[in-house]
Structure 1
Amino acid sequence: MRVRGPSRRSVLTGTAALAFGSVLPRLAFAQATPAAPATAQVTRLRVATMERIELGGSTPLALFQNLLPGPVLRVKHGDKLAVTVENTLETPLSINWQGVRVPNALDGVPGLTGEAIAKGASTDISFAPPDAGTYLYRAFQPELAQRALAGALVVEEPGTSPYASDHVLLIQSWAPDPTMKVPLLTVNGAVSPTFEAPAGGRSRLRLVNAGTQFLRLQVMASCYVLAVDGQPVQPFALKDGRAQLTPGGRLDLAVDIGSADPIPVNVETSQLPIQLALVTPVGPGSAQGTPPLPVPAALPSNGLPDKIPLEKAARFEVPLGPDKVGLSSFESVGSVARGTSVVLALVNRSEAPVAVQLHGVPARLLDGADDGWKPWWHDAVPVAPKATVRVALVADAPGKWAIVGLRGGDGAVVAARSYEVK
């Protein structure tokens, strides 16, 4: 990856044009970064503060290993991930594994699933991720996660990848200047970095939205969706390369590289688009141009059910805002027996879109009649202003699981509920 410095025009003109308040949720996706070999060694994640005035202003940022974002954690499906987290901050710290079906004890919700890591303490975390895919690890506390304390987790499918390159693009938003009406966007800590991919081949881009904004993306090339929020889908082409990425959401894309022209990855705005990143072909390619590539093969299934029985489902309502709430009580919406189908009605009472983060298990969006579902699984669910979205899941993991609603734009917590699986 080559990192370019920001130009005054791309940063100031682009960010001034961004109007997130009018963005309504449509679809969530994400991911990208250079591939790294899997390792059985323990990864150290020391959390400490560092000044990054150009991004964080005068307030120091908390970082994993002094890196922005945190290091990409890679593990082969079926292998164990092992990390040691050391907390040098003045406040307790909890780690959340967004989208990963971890044991309840590792869910990282203080007061619900265990104790936070105290100041000056460290903890060892080890588990085998049950699903291949692209995920997000970060501080559970929004004030820390939204100020840089986040990184990507990649659980690689067995065997050799069919893609010529594999990149993680972790997107974060910043407002270092209080006078800025909209934030600055970075990918892997840089403004509009360049990624290289073999000419004439196909690259896997893993898009991760670690920020607070609903992003309208456009990839200026032929591309197919491989996975949504870490879970495989039957590959389909994105019309005009457009998709929406919910805060906390991830999208895996297969992108046809071509042989000559660089490929912009943009955020669309009401005026000029903002270039998030550039994918540049490298190598000889073909003098006659690149012939069309076939539809990519589907990723291996993670074994989630094809059908969720709804006839005897437990049904709970989760109100979203409009007011901010604390993260101390996690009022329960109810409890169910293990294996029960659950339908959650996510009721947004605010004037802003809300990203609902589901812990423990992903869910499928239901249609308006509640008698069918849309084809993708989500653990970051977009809910438009003044709207109700219903999702269905199978409660197959014992414990108490959090449901958190984050307001689009500023990331304020507008829902903190839980449900128990016995």
Structure 2
Amino acid sequence: MTTPIPSRRTVLKGAAALSLAGAADAVAAAMAPAFAQAPAAPAPIALSAAPGTMPELAGQGPLALFNGALPGPVLRVKKGADLSLAVSNALSESVSLAFQGVRLPAAAAAAAGAAVAPGKTASIRFTAKDAGTFWYHATSPALARRALAGALVVEEAGSSAYASDHVLFIQSFPPESGVPIFPVNGSISPTLQGPASGRTRLRFVNATPVFLRLRLKGPASYAIAVDGQPVSEPFELKDGRIQLAPGGRADVAATLDDADATIIEIETTQDPIRLAVVTPVGPAGPAPSGPPAPLPANALPAQIPLKDALRVELPIGDKPAKPVPSLGKVKVGRSVVLALANSLDAPVSVNIAGHPARLLDGLDDGWKPWWHDTVPVPAKTTVRVAFQADTPGTWSVTAQRGGDGEVVAAATYEVTA
């Protein structure tokens, strides 16, 4: 299923209006009082979970929607600022939320994830510690797959280096016609805009239970963040390809042509599925070359000492053990090496709460130069990750099978002061 690609002539008509709007904003800012009072604290953002349907996208089955929309609203906050939510529940079952990838103190994480009973409203408030692309969703996999989810964008403290910045929140629903349905921001193959001969920031969120192989068909694209955390050295995507595990995110700086659109596709064993289109807008100029500047780093350790690390293993099989086992205790400041041993014939996606982790090399003598909170583990494979424990509390590790999102392993680990 595709949508027509707008011509450059069509989209250029909007450029002058955009320029005039920007000039008007600048004049208004110049006329503002020099000693304006500090703005009042913003009112909590309302998130209302309620039943709904989207037959044109998700078939005739019932969904659980935030604010009646697919997906839920994009929550935006500046790094270091507070995010305040009022979560109401009009479903017939309790709802609790996970803010995937967001580093929180244990008490704040517990408060944010507390169950909201049917007919009740709860307040959630926390400080956005890291800038990056994250997402919120129901902790129940069934509710999350029924669309109770949305993006959370924590913006860098300063001004953005990108003239355009887009979230691409990818969901999926079982096909009724034999063709998989992958709406982006609630639309089929939406058209986005970015600066001609420039770069746009694309924030991909894989809210599906499927491992996605994406390809950007256009000029060079560079990975600038993985799972919300900036990469120290942005790297070019080979042939424009990037893979996203279920629950994973990637920020990409996509270079645009001066006229032709960039096509974003999901690669499959059959024909590719068009995911979105990015059309260049505005006057053309010299195109940028080479990788973009790195994003400002968040406060993560530069080194992870492995010599005296706590070494534990999470076996991943058909069913999670009951009761949920503990992987052990570790003191603040000590490192953890976690072996994710997948015995299944399918790949799994493992979410590690509390601490971003590095993928270790085969001999544990180094690690990949980016962080994960959602770790892809291929079939019949063991993957090792490492992190430095710095936040006291009891944290979860959950493995979900690729394809259907079934929970196939779960455990906890405890960080003590």
The TM-score range, normalised by the shorter chain, is 0.7 to 0.9
Q: 2:184 corresponds to which residue?
A: 187
AA of the residue aligned to 1:81: L
AA of the residue aligned to 2:350: V
Q: 1:299 corresponds to which residue?
A: 295
Q: 1:150 corresponds to which residue?
A: 149
> Taking structure 1 as the reference length, what is the TM-score of the superposition?
0.86
Corresponding residue SS for 2:304:
coil
Aligned residues between the structures: 380
Separation of aligned partners in 2, 1:155 and 1:7: 31
Does residue 355 of the first structure (1) align with residue 355 of the second (2)? no
Which structure ranks higher in relative contact order (CA pairs < 8 Å, sequence separation ≥ 6)?
1
Corresponding residue SS for 1:206:
strand
Deviation readout 1:363-422 (Å, 9 max, x if unpaired): 001111112111110001000000000000111111110000010000000011111111
Q: 1:271 corresponds to which residue?
A: 270
> Contact 1:64–1:71 at 8 Å: present in 2 too?
yes
Structure 1 gap segments, 5+ residues each: 1-5, 10-37
Separation of aligned partners in 1, 2:138 and 2:402: 18
> Contact 2:97–2:114 at 8 Å: present in 1 too?
no
Q: 1:232 corresponds to which residue?
A: 230
Separation of aligned partners in 1, 2:355 and 2:227: 11
> Contact 1:53–1:176 at 8 Å: present in 2 too?
no
Separation of aligned partners in 2, 1:341 and 1:82: 33
Deviation readout 1:243-295 (Å, 9 max, x if unpaired): 10111111001111121101101111122211100001122324xxx434342
Q: 1:34 corresponds to which residue?
A: none
Aligned residue runs from structure 1 range 192-271, under 5 A: 192-221=189-218, 222-233=220-231, 234-271=233-270
Separation of aligned partners in 2, 1:255 and 1:8: 21
Separation of aligned partners in 1, 2:3 and 2:257: 29
Q: 1:24 corresponds to which residue?
A: none
Shift of 1:108: 5.6
Separation of aligned partners in 2, 1:7 and 1:244: 22
Q: 1:92 corresponds to which residue?
A: 94
Separation of aligned partners in 1, 2:241 and 2:148: 28
> Contact 1:70–1:152 at 8 Å: present in 2 too?
yes
Q: 2:383 corresponds to which residue?
A: 389
Q: 1:174 corresponds to which residue?
A: 173
Separation of aligned partners in 1, 2:117 and 2:169: 27
Shift of 1:238: 1.0
AA of the residue aligned to 1:366: L
Q: 1:165 corresponds to which residue?
A: 164
> Contact 2:335–2:389 at 8 Å: present in 1 too?
yes
Pick closer, same or farther for the CA change 1:400–1:294 going to 2, 3 Å: same
Pick closer, same or farther for the CA change 1:145–1:108 going to 2, 3 Å: farther
Separation of aligned partners in 1, 2:107 and 2:92: 24
> Contact 2:315–2:340 at 8 Å: present in 1 too?
yes
Q: 2:47 corresponds to which residue?
A: 45
Larger radius of gyration: 2
Separation of aligned partners in 1, 2:189 and 2:313: 41
Q: Which range is displaced more, 294-303 or 146-155? A: 294-303
AA of the residue aligned to 2:43: Q
Q: 2:82 corresponds to which residue?
A: 80
Pick closer, same or farther for the CA change 1:86–1:354 going to 2, 3 Å: same
Corresponding residue SS for 1:55:
helix
> Contact 2:347–2:402 at 8 Å: present in 1 too?
yes
Match of 1:324 among 316, 319, 324: 319
Q: 1:137 corresponds to which residue?
A: 136
Shift of 1:102: 1.5
Deviation readout 1:45-104 (Å, 9 max, x if unpaired): 010011112333332111111111111011111111111111111111110000000222
Corresponding residue SS for 1:184:
coil
Corresponding residue SS for 1:187:
coil
Q: Which range is displaced more, 46-55 or 261-270? A: 46-55
Separation of aligned partners in 1, 2:173 and 2:3: 16
Q: 2:26 corresponds to which residue?
A: none
Separation of aligned partners in 2, 1:407 and 1:280: 35
> Contact 2:335–2:388 at 8 Å: present in 1 too?
yes
Separation of aligned partners in 2, 1:304 and 1:86: 34
Corresponding residue SS for 2:154:
strand
Corresponding residue SS for 1:54:
helix
Deviation readout 1:78-137 (Å, 9 max, x if unpaired): 11111111111111111000000022234369xxx9741111111111111111000011
Q: 2:11 corresponds to which residue?
A: none
Pick closer, same or farther for the CA change 1:175–1:183 going to 2, 3 Å: same
Deviation readout 1:161-207 (Å, 9 max, x if unpaired): 11110000000111152x74x73111111111110112122100000
**Cα RMSD between the aligned structures?**
2.1
Q: 1:308 corresponds to which residue?
A: 304
Pick closer, same or farther for the CA change 1:8–1:79 going to 2, 3 Å: closer
Pick closer, same or farther for the CA change 1:366–1:146 going to 2, 3 Å: same
Separation of aligned partners in 1, 2:346 and 2:205: 21
Separation of aligned partners in 2, 1:223 and 1:386: 32
> Contact 1:55–1:176 at 8 Å: present in 2 too?
no
